Amino acid sequence: MMAVRTAVGWTGDAIEIIDQTLLPAEERIIRLSTVDEVVDAIQRLAVRGAPAIGVTGALGVLLAGDDDAEAERIASARPTAVNLRWAVERVLAASDRKAEALAILEEDVAACRAIGSYGRAELPEASKILTVCNTGRLATAGWGTALGVVYAKQEAGEPVEVFACETRPLLQGARLTAWELDDAGIPVTVLPDGAAPALLAGGQIDAVIVGADRIAANGDTANKIGTYALAIAARHHGVPFYVAAPRSTLDPATPHGAVIEIEERDGSEIRSIAGLEESTRVWNPAFDVTPASLITGLITDAGVLRAPFGPAIEGVLS
Ligand SMILES: CSC[C@H]1O[C@H](OP(=O)(O)O)[C@H](O)[C@@H]1O
C-alpha cells in the first residue's frame, strides 16, 4: 500500500491510487496495472487533478511497454489539463523512462511545497480563503497547489480557514476538499457554488485561490467550471484572485485561453442529480477560462508571477 496518502503512487510494477469516486464514504486504494485501467481511472476521475493525472500518465507509460500508441491513449484520456500530455511525452522522450517518471512525481511533491511557501507569503497571517474544486493532496503527488498554500499556513502555525464551493456536478469541493481539510484539522465551510458572490460581498474573504489545468502563454487560465464566475465576483468586490499551479501547468504553446480545448462531459452527470429524462438537453463543460486580466497573481513553484503575465511566464520557463 502507498506510504503517503496522496492521489497517486508507484509500487515498483503498478500504480496505486485512491479511488476518488468513492470519497468521502470510503478511502479505497486500487492498483492500475494496465493501460486500459489507467485510461479508465483518468476518464472516470478515480484519479483527477491536473498534476495528479500528469504523474499518473507518466507512470502509465511504464505500463505501456514500447507501444507508443498505447501511451498516446493515456495522453489523450482527458484534453484540458496540459500536465497529462506533457508528462507522457516527457517520459516517452527519456532514455530511462522509469527514472523520468519517478522524477516527475518527485518534482511535483517539491513544487507543491514551493507553491505553499510562496502563496503563504502573499496572505495575511490569519486568512480566510475561498476556493473551488479540489486542489490538495488528492489533486497532486504532494500536498496540493491552492490547498498547498493552506497546508503551508497550517504548518507555520498561522490561522487559516477555507470556504469550499461544492463544485457541481461532481462535487470535488464538497466530497474531496472538505474530506481532506477535515482530515487535516483545518476549518472548512462548504457552500453552494451560487453562494460565492454573496460570501465575497460580505467582506470576510481575504483571497480566492484556485488551481489550474492549463495556463496559456498570456496567463489566461483554464480551471474547473465556476472559476471564471469566482474571478468576476472577486474583482467586483476587490478581493485578490490567485491561481496556484506548478510550472508543469504553464503551456507556452497555447497563446491564449480562447484556443484551450474544454472537456465536455456526459450529460448524465447532470441528469442523474435532478432525475432528468434522457431526452433533456444538458451542457456540461468541465472547465472554463479565466482571462489573465482578472488574475492578481500566478502562485507557482518559481515564485508569484504578476501582470504582464506573458513575459513573467516566459521568464520562469527559460
Ligand atoms: C491542482 S489543480 C487541479 C485542477 O483539476 C481539477 O479538475 P478535475 O477535478 O476535473 O480533474 C480542477 O480544475 C482543479 O483546479
Q: Residue 246 falls within a domain, yes or no? A: yes
Q: Are residues 206 and 157 in the same domain?
A: yes
Does the pTM of the predicted model rise above 0.90? yes
Model ipTM?
0.97
User: Edge-to-edge strand order for the sheet containing 303-305?
Assistant: 188-191, 160-165, 127-131, 207-210, 241-244, 297-300, 303-305
Asked if the model's pLDDT at residue 38 lies above 80, the reply is yes
- Whether residue 245 contacts residue 298, with contact meaning beta carbons closer than 8 Å, is answered with yes
Total domain count for the chain? Answer: 2
Q: Please report, for the domain that includes residue 215, its CATH number.
A: 3.40.50.10470
Q: Are residues 90 and 153 in the same domain?
A: no
Tell me the pLDDT of the chain averaged across its residues: 97
For residues 104 and 148, membership in a common domain is answered with no
d(CA 282, CA 268): 8
Q: Please tell me whether residues 193 and 289 are part of one structural domain.
A: yes
Does 167 map to a domain?
Answer: yes
Task: Using the 3D structure, point to which of 108, 139, 162 is the last residue of a domain.
Answer: 108
* Shared domain check, 171 and 261: yes
Residues 6+ apart with CB under 8 A from 104: 54, 55, 58, 87, 90, 91, 248
Statement to judge: residues 139 and 212 lie in one domain: yes
Residue 3 has pLDDT above 70, yes or no: no
- How would residue 6 be classed by pLDDT, with cut points 50, 70 and 90? confident
161 lines ligand 1 (CB under 6 A): no
- Judge whether 142 is annotated as a binding position: no
Q: Can you give the pLDDT at residue 4? A: 47
Does a structural domain hold residue 166?
yes
Rounded Cα distance, 113 and 264, in Å: 32
Within a domain: 115: no
Could you tell me if 271 and 245 lie in one domain?
A: yes
For ligand 1, is residue 211 a contact (CB within 6 Å)?
Answer: yes
Please give the distance, rounded to the nearest whole angstrom, from the Cα atom of residue 95 to the centre of ligand 1. 30
Q: Give me the domain span that covers residue 248.
A: 124-317
Check which CATH number belongs to the domain holding 85 and give it: 1.20.120.420
Last residue of a domain, which of 74, 108, 142? 108
User: Can you give the C-alpha Rg of the chain in angstroms?
Assistant: 18
pLDDT over 70 for what percent of the chain? 99
pLDDT score of 27: 96
Region 38-50: mean pLDDT is 98
The confidence score (pLDDT) of residue 102 equals 98
Average pLDDT (99-122) is 98
pLDDT of residue 2: 42
- The answer to whether 146 touches 246, Cβ cutoff 8 Å, is no
Three-state secondary-structure class, residue 305: strand
Average pLDDT over residues 227-236: 98
d(CA 257, CA 222): 7
Flag whether pLDDT at 5 surpasses 90. Answer: no
Do 178 and 247 belong together in one domain?
A: yes
Name the residue with the closest Cα to ligand 1, atom 3: 49
Q: Is 43 annotated as a binding residue?
A: no
Asked whether residue 45 falls in the same domain as residue 192, the answer is no
Give nearest CA residue, ligand 1 atom 5. 49
| C-beta of 54 in contact with ligand 1 (< 6 A) | no
Averaged pLDDT, 280-284: 98
116 found inside a domain? no
Same domain, 91 and 184: no
Q: What is the mean pLDDT of residues 229-234?
A: 98
CA distance 55 to 58: 5
In a domain, 213, yes or no: yes
Together in a domain, 159 and 239: yes
φ and ψ at residue 139, rounded to 5 degrees: -115, 0
Distance CA 115, CA 148 (A): 7
Q: Check pocket membership of 80 for ligand 1, CB cut-off 6 A.
A: no
Segment 75-93 mean pLDDT: 98
- The last residue of one of the domains, among 108, 139, 156, is 108
Ligand 1 mean position, distance from CA 46 (Å): 12
* Same domain as 196, residue 90: no
Please report, rounded to a whole number, the percentage of residues in the chain having pLDDT higher than 90. 98
